[in-house]
Amino acid sequence: MAIDDREDAVGSSGPTAAARSSADGPLIDVRNLQTAFFTEKETIRAVDGISFDIDPGETVGIVGESGSGKSVTARSLMGLIESPGRVLRGSSIRYRGIEAVRAFADEFSKRTVDIADLEAAYDPDELFGSTAATPEEFGYADPASVPLVDVAAAGYTDEIGLTSGTECVFVTDGSASTPEEIRGGFIEISRLSGEPQRKMRGGRIAMVFQDPLTSLNPVYTVGNQIKESLRQHQGIRGKEATQEAADLLEAVGIPDARRRVDEYPHQFSGGMRQRAVIAMALACEPEMLICDEPTTALDVTIQAQILDLLAEIQESRDVSIMFITHDMGVIAEVSDRVNVMYAGEIVESADVIPLFEDPKHPYTRGLLESIPGGNVDGKLSTIEGSVPTPNEPATYCRFAPRCPKAFDECHEVHPVPIRVESEGESDHTASCLLYPSDVPTAEAVARHSRRNQAGEEK
Ligand SMILES: Nc1ncnc2c1ncn2[C@@H]1O[C@H](COP(=O)(O)OP(=O)(O)OP(=O)(O)O)[C@@H](O)[C@H]1O
Ligand code: NI
């Protein structure tokens, strides 16, 4: 990317993510996540280079139509992608919870890399000599001045020795001689396997699926399943676990919890089952809860109750939530920040109010017009057609065939995220050739084109 484009062009190495971080930074940062399924027929790029942050205590919504890659994103964070699927090299999902970093550095010290050592061993000339990357792409003229963290964020994790093959790597900031003294660092969760992965999944990060029956075992009582989770993740057993299981069921609003703890999943209604699954998730005291359409199968009243419950849990336990749904109404209700996905890509990202008040991407506008009452003249319009399977590299706008605003170049140039915020707003981006809107379209297209070429060299 040319230096003069840095103002409005952002991407995996862009300055905005860092700027948006709270003083303590995000809990999770996802950079250039690419997850593909290698089927006999084709390679499906289900998630194709997405980047976003999740701050502590924040609810981040992921919205998009069926097939846009929401669930694959969630499964990638959970380490649940199975063959023929794979999280591709160059992807990075960093978990920055400081307690987790300390615990992992302590328990898995052999796999922990000190960022100070990494800085010392990092040779920018080697990186820029052996890959197609250019310092200009990062906004610098001189290789040595490109910060290591930008290089990692741009997906060059293998090249700088941060990750290698499937080995997991935990990074600490080099300031500490004992785990308790560690002040920063992260766990590269896209490379976890074995025991560290087990500790992360269901320990630090828990997931609630659309169908509660996928998480509940029909042959055990609900109480026993919660107790198993308490034993595994917190080492609580016996009477104490029985008590805690009932308390958890009570906390998620199950009436008569002390009796119902001994019932089986089939004795629970759909809404109560989902509450039980949430109780199971909470049993491991997660810092992050991933909810994949948790209310889609429930009727509207129950749906509202579960959403209230999640809000209450977030408030009282200070968890971060990644909330996936295709329903813009639900997104409006639960999210602090929203990422709109289309065919494997994030096409718009903004705080919830600006997204709804001033949507920029034609796809987001289309989704909003499909909500009952969302259209000015009261008509319900839906976007015609459906999400294409992303089975080839994105060298054009994947939404163009359905886009009311599409022009010729949309079929030839891949749009990159462009800053579109109004005054007072932070970090609103849209990937659309219509932006930036304050320059002639030809100039806007040229910027996308240039930025795009820089990205493709990777
Ligand atoms: N196991 C798999 N094998 C092959 N392709 C897959 C697999 N899982 C997902 N995909 C493909 O990845 C793409 C994204 O799927 P994903 O389930 O993430 O969509 P989604 O946004 O969650 O949709 P929905 O709202 O229907 O749940 C789709 O094209 C899907 O067909
Ligand atoms: Ni899904």
Q: Which residues have C-beta within 8 Å of that of residue 118, sequence separation ≥ 6?
A: 148, 160, 161, 162, 171
Ligand nearest to the CA of 341: 1
Instruction: Grade residue 174 by pLDDT with cuts at 50, 70 and 90.
Output: low
* Cβ of residue 35 lying under 6 Å from some atom of ligand 1: no
Q: Which pTM does this prediction carry?
A: 0.88
Distance CA 31, CA 12 (A): 6
DSSP letter for each residue of 98-155: HHHHHHHHHHTGGGEEEHHHHHHH--HHHHHHHSS--GGGGT-SSGGGS-HHHHHHTT
Reply yes or no on whether the pLDDT at 83 is more than 50: yes
Q: Is the CB of 49 under 6 A from ligand 1?
A: no
Residue of minimum CA distance from atom 10 in ligand 1: 46
For residue 276, what are its two tokens?
Answer: 């039980």
pLDDT value at 198 more than 90: no
**What b-and-e string marks burial along 232-255, b requiring 16 or more CB atoms within 10 Å of the CB?**
ebeebeeeebbebbbebbbbbbbe
Instruction: Report pLDDT for 12.
Output: 37
Length of the chain: 458
Phi and psi for 319 in degrees, rounded to 5?
A: -95, 155
pLDDT score recorded for residue 72 = 98
Q: Is the CB of 87 under 6 A from ligand 1?
A: no
Q: What's the pLDDT band for 225 if we cut at 50, 70, 90?
A: very high
Closest CA to 355 of 371, 343, 377, 344: 371
Looking at the predicted structure, is the pLDDT value of residue 401 above 90? yes
Q: What is the mean pLDDT of residues 49-63?
A: 96
Angle at 160 between CA 155 and CA 163, to 5 degrees: 70
For ligand 1, atom 7: residue with the closest CA: 37
Cβ neighbours of 377 (radius 10 Å): 5
CA of 178 to the centre of ligand 2 (A): 42
CA torsion sign, 340 to 341 to 342 to 347? Answer: positive
pLDDT at position 417, please?
95
Is the model more confident about 45 or about 119?
45
Rounded Cα distance, 256 and 189, in Å: 39
The terminus-to-terminus CA distance of the chain in angstroms comes to 13
Q: Is 326 in the pocket of ligand 1 (CB under 6 A)?
A: yes
pLDDT at 376: 56
pLDDT top residue among 247 and 377: 247
Contact 291, 320 (CB under 8 A): no
**Residues 50, 346: contact at Cβ < 8 Å?**
yes
Residue located nearest, by CA, to atom 24 of ligand 1: 66
Indicate if the pLDDT at residue 87 is higher than 90: yes
Indicate whether 173 pLDDT > 80. no
Please return the burial class of 19, using the count of CB atoms within 10 Å of its CB with bins 0-12, 13-18 and 19+: exposed
- What's the CA-to-centroid distance between 70 and ligand 1, angstroms? 8
Closest residue by CA, ligand 1 atom 16: 69
Highest mean pLDDT pick, 6-10, 68-72, 150-154: 68-72
Residue nearest to atom 6 of ligand 1 (CA): 37
CB of 69 sitting under 6 A from ligand 1: yes
Q: What whole-number distance in Å separates Cα of residue 452 and Cα of residue 416?
A: 7
Mean pLDDT of 372-382: 63
Return the residue whose CA atom lies nearest to atom 4 of ligand 1.
Answer: 37
In this predicted structure, the answer to whether residue 367 has a pLDDT above a threshold of 90 is yes
Task: Give the integer Cα–Cα distance in Å for 302 and 298.
Answer: 6
Cβ-in-10-Å burial (0-12, 13-18, 19+) of 70 comes to buried
Task: Judge whether residue 158 has pLDDT over 80.
Answer: no
Band of residue 260 on the pLDDT scale cut at 50, 70, 90: very high
Is the pLDDT reported for residue 151 higher than 90? no
Spacing, Cα 355 to ligand 2 middle (Å): 22
Q: So what's the ipTM on this one? A: 0.99
Q: Which of 402, 428, 403, 398 is nearest to 413 (CA)?
A: 398
- Using the predicted structure, report yes or no on whether residue 10 has a pLDDT greater than 50: no
Across the range 224-232, mean pLDDT stands at 93
79 lines ligand 1 (CB under 6 A): no
Contact 35, 86 (CB under 8 A): yes
User: pLDDT digit string (tens) for 99-136?
Assistant: 898 888 888 877 787 777 777 888 888 888 888 788 88
Q: What are phi and psi of 103, to 5 degrees?
A: -65, -40
Identify the pLDDT of residue 373.
64
Weakest mean pLDDT among 108-122, 186-200, 292-306: 108-122
Amino acid identity of 372? P
Task: State if residue 292 touches ligand 1 by the CB under 6 angstroms criterion.
Answer: no
Average pLDDT, the chain: 86
Bridge partner residues of 85 (DSSP) = 37
Task: State yes or no: pLDDT of 3 exceeds 70.
Answer: no
pLDDT at 17 > cutoff 70: no
Residue 390 is predicted with a pLDDT of 96
Cα–Cα distance between 354 and 373 in angstroms, integer?
Answer: 18
Evaluate: CB of 313 within 6 angstroms of ligand 1. Answer: no
The pLDDT confidence band at residue 91, using thresholds 50, 70 and 90, is confident
- Please tell me the residue having the least CA distance from ligand 1 atom 13: 46
Position 292 pLDDT exceeds 70: yes
Q: Report the atom number in ligand 1 closest to the C-alpha of 68.
A: 21
pLDDT at 164 over 70: no
pLDDT (0 to 100) of residue 403:
96
pLDDT value of residue 375? 58
Give the Å distance between the CA of 142 and the centre of ligand 1: 41
Q: Which run of H or E residues covers position 333?
A: helix 328-334
User: Quick check: CB of 63 below 6 Å from ligand 1?
Assistant: no
Write down the residue that tokens 């890399």 correspond to.
113
Q: Which ligand is nearest to the CA of 387?
A: 1
